Structure 1
Amino acid sequence: MRGVFLAAGLALAVSILLTPYLIRFFAKQGFGQEIREDGPQSHQSKRGTPTMGGVAILIAIWVGYLGSHAFTREPITASALLVLFLTTALGLVGFIDDFLKIRRQRNLGLNKTSKIVGQVLTATIFGILAVRFANERNLTPASESLSFVRDITILSFGVVGFVLLCNLIVAAWSNAVNLTDGLDGLAAGTAAMVLGTYVIIAFWQFRNSCAIAASAGCYEVRDPLDVGLVAAAAMGGCIGFLWWNAAPARIFMGDTGSLALGGLLAGLSMVTRTELLLVVIGGVFVVEALSVSLQIVVFRTSRRRLFRMAPFHHHFELAGWAETTVIIRFWLLAAICAAMGLGIFYSEWLAASGSA
């Protein structure tokens, strides 16, 4: 447990102390955010705000995770390294996207094909390795089955099927977080709550792992404590970054941060066997992504707009809500979703441990 607190504390310190240096450096280099012209007009004043702040979050995650291991002397595990690989690789894709936007002085970075290729390549590597690295108990970091709170064994896809599923999950969550990152602090604050929930889930799985106590309701997961360290470091990194990213933001995370965090959430869900539960825990991200999909479908079929603007948070801005009001209320919804997900997780454990 000390390692979890240390990972979160180190990442928080690195993120909150490093970010102002990045603000000054990016501002000096002219790495300012380009704002979409068809967005809310109130956002035009944000043009030129330093972006690519996700770099601070990524560095904080690695420092928090490795620093915790340096202190506890616990071995580094395959599950944690795979999640970190997924996070960092997608962060690199986002960094290239952000850099191209800045260089071209337009809100257009990588084209869709290039971004998809980057996501697919990363997800495919993660998916293959996640079901191949078995430990002495023949447990792999991820399972070939779809999961809710545990594996749904009748929905087992095999290696090829899982890799395809992995691509779908990674694409869905990286894009969902990316779409949510449209208001100051909205994505960072929401991600911090989801990550905090995964710290609890991973620690609970560790305490009730079948490797420790083969009792009723125990979890057949690999490396849950080390996965919890990654989630804790990421939570600390997001909170530290939020200090500078909260309205009025002095820096944006950019695609560097949003794609990385989306990949992180996808990776955590797969190695903890909670892919479907994440839909509840990260409900705000799901709604934001669905709002864009629904807007496109309705407009193409009826030539009318379902919302004033998508993603969903812009709808409320154009309805007259202040930006901070939208952010705080969405944070409240994120907290409710996280609590509901955690409640479902615990209720399932009670039922499993009591019925066996």
Structure 2
Amino acid sequence: MRAVIAAAFVAFVLSLLITPLAARLLRALRAGQPIRSLGAATHTGKQGMPTMGGVVFIVATVLAYAVGHGVLATMPATATRSAGVTVTGVVLLGLLVCCGVVGFLDDWIKVRQKNPKGLSKKGKIIGQVLVGGGLGWVALGFPRTVNGYTMTVGSEYLSLVRDIDWLRTGQVFAIVVFVFVIMSMSNAVNLTDGLDGLATGASILVLMAYTMMAFWQYRHWCPDYPASQAGAYCYSTRDPLEIAMVGAAAAGALLGFLWWNTSPARIIMGDTGALGLGGLIGGMAMATRTVLLTPILGALFVIITMSVVLQVISFRTTGRRIFRLSPLHHHFELVGWSEVNIVVRFWLVAGLGVLTALGVFYGAFLQAYG
């Protein structure tokens, strides 16, 4: 627990202190965000706002993770708690960093060419597929055996709160599922990142929930149970403490970033942060074995993504738009809601999704002992 708290605290402090410095540097470098002419009129004041702020909390998360391992190094190593870097850490931080790199390329093109379109859709898809496929192979290809349990970061089974025994996909399709989850979440967070603090606050809630679930799995880890309790309700996720530490570090880093990103923002995360966060959230879903729970946990991301999907389908099939503008938060801007009202209310929606998902997760555990 000390390592998890230390990682969260260090990430928060680093992000809180570095973000304003990064904002000044990016402004000096004229790394400003170009605004689409189709956007809401209230966004004209955001023209030129420093972007690529995601670099700050990505770096803060990685450094805080290292500090967390430094704390673990002062404690006796056990099968449950290893002081060394694990494959789980490599996969999760790899998703955060590598998806962030894809987003950085997008932001860089926007800044250099003063074009809000940035990297082409094809380019983004190729980047996400390469990242998801490569790290998906790592997630499934390096098992760890502890006390008779063989575990991998990813899984050949679909999962809700644990692996579902009768929903086995096979290794090849499991990598396909891994890629799909990573792409879906990275694009969903990217679509949500349209108002000051919206994606940041929602991501904090989701990552805190994953941290809680991972730490619960750590406390009820199957390899820790004696053979006499083999039938006990437990979790066979690989390196659950590692998952909790990464989630806590990312949530802490985002909390420090939110101080400067909330309205009126001094810096925005850009695609660098949004794609990186989405990749990490998708990886957390795979690592905690909660893939089918993720649409509930990330309800706000799903709602906003579906608003875009429905808008496109409706316009292409009927020539009519369901919303004044998509994603959904821009529709409410044009209706007349203030940016702060939209963000706070959408945070409430995100919180309801998180609470519902946590209820399902912990309810399954309690039901097993009911």
Q: TM-score range by the shorter chain?
A: over 0.9
Matched residue type, 2:141: R
Contact 1:218 1:353 in 2 (8 A): no
Q: Distance in 1 between matches of 2:44 and 2:369?
A: 54
Of 107, 119, 139 in structure 1, the residue corresponding to residue 151 of structure 2 is 139
Matches within 5 A, 1:42-81: 42-73=42-73, 74-81=83-90
Q: Displacement of 1:129 after TM fit?
A: 1.1
Runs of 4+ in 1 over 3 A off after TM superposition: none
Is residue 129 from structure 1 mapped to residue 138 from structure 2 by the alignment? yes
Q: Distance in 1 between matches of 2:168 and 2:304?
A: 29
Of 258, 278, 281 in structure 2, the residue corresponding to residue 242 of structure 1 is 258
Tell me the equivalent position of 1:170: 182
Q: Displacement of 1:215 after TM fit?
A: 5.4
Tell me the equivalent position of 1:108: 117
Contact 1:184 1:248 in 2 (8 A): yes
Contact 2:217 2:240 in 1 (8 A): yes
Is residue 204 from structure 1 mapped to residue 216 from structure 2 by the alignment? yes
Contact 2:159 2:289 in 1 (8 A): yes
> Unmatched 5+ residue regions in structure 1?
none
Most deviating of 149-158 and 168-177: 149-158
Q: Displacement of 1:77 after TM fit?
A: 1.5
Is residue 28 from structure 1 mapped to residue 28 from structure 2 by the alignment? yes
Tell me the equivalent position of 2:361: 345
Matches within 5 A, 1:245-324: 245-324=261-340
Most deviating of 171-180 and 71-80: 71-80
Q: Distance in 1 between matches of 2:299 and 2:219?
A: 27
In structure 2, the residue corresponding to 1:276 is in which secondary structure?
A: helix
TM-score (norm 2): 0.94
Question: Aligned residue pairs: how many?
Answer: 354
In structure 1, the residue corresponding to 2:164 is in which secondary structure?
A: strand
Contact 1:216 1:353 in 2 (8 A): no
Q: Displacement of 1:220 after TM fit?
A: 1.3
Q: Distance in 2 between matches of 1:153 and 1:24?
A: 52
Contact 1:149 1:348 in 2 (8 A): yes
Tell me the equivalent position of 1:7: 7
Identity of aligned residues (%): 46
> Unmatched 5+ residue regions in structure 2?
74-82
Most deviating of 285-294 and 210-219: 210-219
Q: Distance in 1 between matches of 2:122 and 2:85?
A: 35
Q: Distance in 2 between matches of 1:109 and 1:314?
A: 20
Q: Distance in 2 between matches of 1:142 and 1:350?
A: 25
Cα RMSD for the two superposed structures: 0.9
Q: Displacement of 1:353 after TM fit?
A: 3.6
Q: Distance in 2 between matches of 1:46 and 1:156?
A: 48
Contact 2:2 2:71 in 1 (8 A): no
Q: Distance in 2 between matches of 1:21 and 1:215?
A: 54
Contact 2:193 2:274 in 1 (8 A): yes
TM-score (norm 1): 0.98
Contact 2:12 2:255 in 1 (8 A): yes
Q: Distance in 1 between matches of 2:36 and 2:3?
A: 42
Contact 1:11 1:234 in 2 (8 A): yes
Residue-by-residue CA offset, 1:134-154 (whole Å, 9 max, x unaligned) = 112321111111111111222
Tell me the equivalent position of 2:198: 186
In structure 1, the residue corresponding to 2:224 is in which secondary structure?
A: coil
Q: Distance in 2 between matches of 1:198 and 1:27?
A: 34
